[in-house]
Amino acid sequence: MFDSQKIKKDFPIFEKHPELVYLDSTATSLKPRQVIDKLVEYYTQYSANVFRGIYKISEKATEEFEKTREKIAQFIGAKPEEVIFVRNTTEAINLVAYSLGRKIVDKSSEIVVSLMEHHSNFVPWQQLAFENGARLKIINIDKQGRLLFSPEMITRRTAIFALTYVSNVLGTINPVKKIIKQVKKANPNTIVIIDGAQAVPHLKVDVKELACDFLAFSSHKMLGPTGVGVLWGKRELLEQAFPFLYGGEMIREVRLEETVFKEPPYKFEAGTPAIGEVIALASAVEYLEKLGMEKVREHEKELISYALERLKEEFGEKITIFGPEEAEERGGVLAFKFGSYHPHDIAQILDSLNIAVRAGHHCAMPLHQALKVEATTRASFYIYNDKEDVEKLIEGLRRVEKVLG
């Protein structure tokens, strides 16, 4: 495992809050000093708009901005011209739904999504199906939180197949490479969109190996700033898609009679972007690359294995942990039901002990309805967590029993 105490020294928030046990990285990760310094560098040294200025600091900003595009492309095995900057995973998926979905989905179409999707990868497809009269098909899960996918679900009418790589509740790591291969074999024309928000920060992801059509993920979940997301898409599909927004910088030529748009990715990047935040994202990628994504995965796997064992050992049948029992099949996410205590009460008591967890439905209400729980408590781990944090969580849950029992 990593020396998490050493890694914590890179995160200024622990200087301000040395007692903090941060177990909510699935919602948003903490930011290392290198990322913060890069953001400050932009605002203090070359805080100008990109692409538009024929002067040194604007050219510097543009250069750094485009370096991030190249860095992201390299990180996911893509080409820079296929990388689009948006605000977050939500906007990335909505971009595909509006720009391409509305073009290819009609009353004869089917859209396939899973029960475990975050609302960001469920509601856009649900609404597109409603608006265009398409059929929405749901892939169910088994008792272990594994996907019950069958290639027979894909027909000649399947226009869209949308799936999360890693569930933000169950922690389930879906066998996306295998599933995509089955989908494409059943219908080569089906467009496959992968929600990589919980995968790209934690696993080695290569879009060429996955063979998906689109991949969406967020900066803020992978040590980067908020306000930046990434959509990767195959070039030919990006060329087919309509622009998502119209305005400055995505235009090649405007006449009274017509407008000619730029080529992708710029066709989808209207207006002034989050320049400093995009530039700082490159530093987050560099930080993860230095650690090594394989090592990041191994660290989380060892930590989640330890947490699963210790929580069951300590609380037995009092605690119900949702998702696969084997650490090999799940990411660093633990959503659980603890006795009859409400997750909000649990989270509040843990907060009094400086332990930060998430309570609620985690933007996955259909999944919680299927699990027959209104809400869960979720602890999630990342590179700055260690086994001591697991023990503190256990101590916190003992305190919950004492206070509420």
Structure token digits, residue 299:
């660290």
Distance CA(152)–CA(156), nearest Å, equals: 11
Query: DSSP states of 129-159 as a string?
Result: HHHHTPEEEEE-B-TTS-B---GGG--TTEE
Task: Sheet containing 135-139: give its strands across.
Answer: 83-86, 229-233, 214-218, 191-195, 158-164, 110-114, 135-139
DSSP-H helix ranges across 9-55: 13-16, 33-45
CA dihedral 272, 273, 279, 282 (to 10 degrees): -150
| Residue 212 is among the residues annotated as catalytic for this protein | no
Please give the angle made by the CA atoms of 84, 283 and 39, to the nearest 5 degrees. 90
Place of tokens 């892939």: 139
Q: How many CB atoms sit inside 10 A of residue 15's CB?
A: 10
Residues 6+ apart with CB under 8 A from 105: 111, 128, 129, 132, 134, 159, 160
CB of 395 closer than 8 Å to CB of 375: no
Strand locations in 266-380 (E): 319-322, 333-338, 355-356, 358-360, 376-380
Comparing CA positions, the residue from 265, 276, 213, 273 lying closest to residue 87 is 273
Candidate list 1, 104, 363, 370, residue with the active-site label: 363
**Strands 214-218 and 229-233, bridge-based pairing:** antiparallel
Please identify every residue annotated as catalytic.
363
